[in-house]
Structure 1
C-alpha cells in the first residue's frame, strides 16, 4: 500500500472513530430520555482500503414496544375502572363508618326503638324524625356524588379526545418530516424519537397497533379496527356537558358519544373501535358503572318509600298520600323511579325543623291532632316495617327479600366484590406492563456497554493516529534525503 493510500485509510479511520464517539456520547447523555432509541454507526470497508461511514441507525425493538403499548392501555383501563368503583364504595361508606348509609339506617332504627320505649317524650320523637331526615339526605348525597363522578368522566373524555386529536396531527406531521429526511439522506433519528413519545401518549388513551409504511412513515390502528392514522390523521369528535342528572344518558341523547371522521361509533363493549384504554373505561364509568350504581340506589330509595307509603301501616293516610319518605314532598309513583334517591325527602309533616310535628310518628301523619302520648303501636310498627324482609319491585332489584338496611348491605357487598376483582385485574395489568417496560429498557441504552465500546473506539483512534504519525516520520526522512 502506498503512503498516500495508507494516509487516506488512517484518516478515514479517524473520521469513523469521531462519528462513533459522537454517537456513544449521545447514547450515554440520553440514556434516561423518554422515547430515545439507541444509535449505532454503520461501518464498512472501502474498496480501495479504509473505513466507509454509513448511516446512523436507530436500534429499537418495535415488537416489544408494541406489546408494551397494549399493556399500557390495558393498565390505564383497569386503573380507571378500579378508581370509579373505589369512589362509589367510599360514597356509601364502610359499615363501621358513622357517616355510612348503613349507619344512617341503623340510627333511624335505633331512634324509632327509643321513641317507642317512651312515646311521651318529645325529644325522642324529634330524634327519630331527624334520623329520618338524615337518612334521606344521605341518599341525596350519594346520588349527587355518583352524578359528579359521571360529570368528571364526561369532562375527562373531552380532554382525552382533545389530546388524542392533537397527538395524531403531530404524528402525521412527523411522518411527513421523516419521509422528507429519508428522501434527502438526512438523519431522522431525532424525529423518530419525538414520534415514539407522541405515539406512547396516544397508547395511554387507546390501545394501538403501529404498522410501518414506506419512507419511514407509520400507520396507527386500534386492535378492534379503528383507523387512527393512515396517511392523514383521523378526527375524533365529542361534546361535553356542564351538568349531569340521573335521567341524562347516552341512549336518551342527552350525553355525547364518539364520532370518527364524523361517523358515530360505539363506545361500549369489547368490540367497540376504541375498546380498551382509559378512554373506553371513562365511557364505562359514565354510562355503565355509575349508572348501575345509581339504579341500585334508586331501588333502595323506592324500597324505603314503599315500606311506609301504605295506608295499612298508617291508617291516617289516604290512598295516594305520601308516607314517611316522599318523592320530593309528594307520593311516589312507580313509573318515576329513575333519580328517586336524589329527590328523596322525609315527610315535612313530621319534621320539627321544617314546621312539622314529630308526634305524627306516634299518632299518624294524617292525624288531625295529637293522640294519647303513651300509644307506641305505630312507632313499633314503623320499626317492624323497617326490618321486614321484602323484595323490591324495582327493575334493578336482586330479587332477594331483605330488610331496608339489608338491601344497602347487599349493594355495598356487591360493590366491594367488584372493586376487589378490579384490583386483581389492575395488579395483573400493571405487572404485565412493568415486565414489558423492563424488557424494552433492557434493549435500550446500556451505559456500561457504551463505555466499553468507547474504550474500543479510543484504541482504534490511537491506532490510526499512530499510522499517521509513522507516515509523517517516513515523509520527513524522505524529504531529508
Structure 2
C-alpha cells in the first residue's frame, strides 16, 4: 500500500469515527428520553480502501411494539372503567363503606315500627313522612349525580375523538416526511421516534395494528380491520345527540353498535354512557353502566307505588313503544282472556285501542293501553323492556288463550292457562292503600306527579303524597301493622339491566343495587391493576430492547476512541514519512 493510500484510508476512518462518536453522543444525551430509540451505525468498506458509514439504523422491535400497543389499549380502557366506577362508588357512598340508599329504606322501616307502636304520636307520624322523603331525596341525589358523571364523560368523549383525529393526522404527516427524507438519502430516525410517539397516543385510544411499507411509511389499522392511515388519515365524528360514532370512508352509521370499534379509552368512555337496549341487557363490565343504574332507580321507585298483587313477566323484549305487534309473533285474530275475579275479559275487547281484533300493524303501546282499560288490571313496559300484567284489587290473576296462542308467543303462559295467586303479604302501597281511611287521612303514601299514573312511576316523578307533606292530611292510624309487614316481607324482585334480585325486602332491593355496582367496581379495579402492570412490564421490556444503555454506549465510545487514536497514529506516521522523503529529496 502506498503512503497516499494509507493516508486516504486513515482519513476515511477518522471521518467515519467522527460520525460514530456523534451517534453515541446523541444516544447518551437521550438516555432518559422514553420516546427515543437508540441508533447504531453500520460501517462499509470502500472499493479502493478505507471505510465509511453506510447507514445509521434505528433499533426497533416491531413485534414487541405491536404487543405494547395492544396492551396499552387494554390498560387505558380498563383504567377508564375503573375511574368511572369509582366515581359511582363515591356517589353511592360504597367506596367508604357507607350505604345511604339502603340506609334510608331502613330508616323508613324503623319509622313505621315506631308509628305502629304509637299511632297517636304526631312525632312518630312526622318521622315516617320525613323518612319517606329521605328515600326520594337520596334517589334524586343519585340521579343528579349520574347526570353529572354522564356530562363529564360526554365532554371526555368529544376531547378523545379530537385527540384521535389530531394524532392520526400527525402520523400521516410524519409518514409523508419520512418517505421524502428517505428518498433523498437523509436520516429519518428522529421522524420515526416522533411517529412512534403519536402511534402510542392512538393505541391508548383505540387498539391498532401497524404494517411497515418499503418506503418507510406505516399503514395503521384497528384490530377490527378499519383503516386509519392507509392512503390518508381517517377522521372520526362523534354525535352526542344520537350517541353514535362514524368514520370517514366507512359505510357504518355507528361503529359502536356495529361492533367495529375495538377496545381502548374511547370505546370504554362511549360504552359507559350507552343507552341502547343491547347495552342495557349486556352483562359486560362498563357497558351502559349509567343507564342501568337509572333503570334500577326507576324500578326501585316503582316498587314504592306498586299496588299490584302479582306481576307476570313475558320474556319478549318490548322496550320500543312503537314495536309492531307483528314483530312479537302475534297475528290477526289472536286473542286472550284475563280473569281478575270479576269475570273474564277478552283482549281485544272491540272497543279498546286495538279495535275489534289484533292487527300486525298495531303497536306494543296499543296492547298496553288496551290492557289498562280493563278494571283492576295494570299493564306496563318495564325499564328493562318487558311486559308486566298484574292485578290491582288483590284477586288472583288468570290468563288464558282464546284464539291461537298469543300468550304463549309472548312467554306469559305455558301450555295451559296460568293462575298466579295473591301475594302474602302485599306490597307496601297495597298494605297502606287498602287500610281503612278515616276522615282527614291520606288515601295513599307515595304517589306520582300530576299527569302521570302509578304504572309509569320513575325516579323523576315519584313523591310523598303532597297532602302529607303539606300537613293537610295525616297518616292512616290503622296502617302501621300492615305497612311494617309489607316492608319486612322478603317478596320483592327486580330483573333486567343485567341485575336479578329475588325474595328481597325493600331494603334488600336498595342494598342489592349497591352491592351489584360494588362488585362491578371491584372487578374493574382488579382488571385495571393487572392490565397496567402488564403494560408497564411490556414497555420496560421494549425500552430494554431499543432504549439506551449507558454502560454499553461507554464501552462503544472506548472502542471508537481507540480506533480514532490508531487512525490518528497512522496519519501521524505517514506525515512523518512524507516529511523525511521531502528532506531526502532536498
Question: What do the CA deviations read for 1:322-355 (whole angstroms, capped 9, x no partner)?
Answer: 8322333566432x35xx113332222112xxx2
Change over 3 Å in CA distance of 1:468–1:193 after alignment to 2: same
Q: In the TM superposition, what is the alpha-carbon distance from 1:76 to its structure 2 partner?
A: 1.0
| 8 Å Cα contact 2:76/2:265 also seen in 1 | yes
Change (3 A) 1:53 1:182: same
In the other structure, the counterpart of 1:381 is 482
Residue in 2 that maps onto 1:228: 228
Which deviations, in whole Å up to 9, do the C-alpha atoms of 1:243-302 show, x marking residues without a partner?
xxxxxxxxxxx4321011164354447x82222101111111101111112111211111
1:33 is matched with 33
Alpha-carbon shift at residue 99 of structure 1 (Å): 6.2
Q: Specify which structure has the bigger relative contact order, considering alpha-carbon pairs within 8 angstroms and separated by 6 or more residues.
A: 1
Provide closer, same or farther for how the CA distance between residues 27 and 72 of structure 1 changes in structure 2, counting only shifts above 3 A: same
**What is residue 54 of structure 1 aligned with on the other side?**
54
2:568 aligned residue: 465
- TM (norm. structure 1) is 0.86
2:522 is the counterpart of 1:420: yes
Corresponding position of 1:360: 474
CA 1:442–1:219: 2 relative to 1, 3 Å: same
Instruction: Compute the displacement of 1:395 (Å).
Output: 4.9
After superposition, the Cα gap between the structure-2 partners of 1:328 and 1:8, relative to the gap in structure 1 and judged at 3 Å, is farther
> What residue ranges of structure 1 are gaps of 5+ in the alignment?
241-253, 364-374
- Equivalent of 1:282, from 244, 250, 269? 269
The aligned residue for residue 398 of structure 1 is 500
Q: Is the 8 A contact 2:220 2:230 kept in 1?
A: yes
Separation in 1 of the partners of 2:435 and 2:218? 73
Aligned to 1:343: 461
Corresponding residue number in structure 2 for 1:456: 559
CA 404–209 in structure 1, closer or farther in 2 if over 3 Å, else same: same
Secondary structure (helix, strand or coil) at the match of 1:460 reads helix
Q: Residues 371-404 of structure 1: CA distance to partner in whole angstroms, max 9, x if unpaired?
A: xxxx4x3123222222222334765562512111
Contact 1:102 1:409 in 2 (8 A): yes
Instruction: Report the CA distance between 1:413 and its aligned residue.
Output: 1.9
- Does structure 1 conserve the Cα–Cα contact (< 8 Å) formed by 2:40 and 2:58? yes
* 2:244 maps to which of 257, 269, 272: 257
Indicate conservation of the 8 Å contact 1:73/1:206, yes or no.
yes
Query: For 2:460, what is the secondary structure of its paired residue?
Result: helix
Aligned length: 445
Query: 2:447 touches 2:454 (CA, 8 Å); kept in 1?
Result: no
Confirm or deny: 8 A CA contact 1:325 1:344 kept in the other structure: yes
Distance of 1:85 and 1:266 partners within structure 2: 25
* 3-state SS in 2 of match to 1:214: coil
One of 404, 422, 445 as aligned partner of 1:324? 445
Q: CA deviation at 1:462?
A: 0.7
Aligned partners of 2:492 and 2:506 also within 8 Å: no
TM-score between the two structures when normalised by the length of structure 2: 0.72
Q: Check the 8 A contact 2:66/2:210 in 1, yes or no.
A: yes
SS in 2 for 1:48: coil
Match in the other structure for 2:374:
none
Asked if the contact 1:16–1:51 (Cα under 8 Å) also holds between the matched residues in 2, the reply is yes
Deviations 1:400-428 (A, max 9, x none): 12111111122222222222222232232
Shift of 1:442: 0.5
Partner of 2:118: 118
Question: By how many angstroms is 1:49 displaced?
Answer: 1.4
SS for the counterpart of 2:43 is strand
Unaligned runs of at least 5 residues, structure 2: 275-287, 307-426
Cα offset, 1:121, TM superposition: 2.8
Structure number with the higher helix fraction is: 1
Match of 1:17 in 2: 17
Q: What's the C-alpha RMSD, in Å, of the aligned pairs? A: 2.4
Looking at structure 2, the residues matched to 104 and 95 of structure 1 have their Cα atoms a distance apart, in angstroms, of 18
Alignment partners' CA distance in 2, 1:211 and 1:380: 73
**Structure 2: how far apart are the matches of 1:98 and 1:49?**
81
Q: Does the C-alpha gap of structure 1 residues 395 and 60 become closer, same or farther in structure 2, counting only changes over 3 Å?
A: closer
Distance 1:95 1:457 in 2: 60
**Matches of 1:96 and 1:330, distance apart in 2:** 40
Whole-angstrom distance in 2 between the partners of 1:95 and 1:121: 38
Q: Tell me if structure 1 keeps the 8 A contact 2:245–2:256.
A: no
Distance in 2, matches of 1:222 and 1:55, equals 33
Structure 1 pair 202/82, CA: closer, same or farther in 2 (3 Å)? same
| Cα distance in 2 for residues equivalent to 1:347 and 1:17 | 90
Q: Does the alignment pair 1:137 with 2:128?
A: no
CA contact (8 A) 1:95 1:103 kept: no
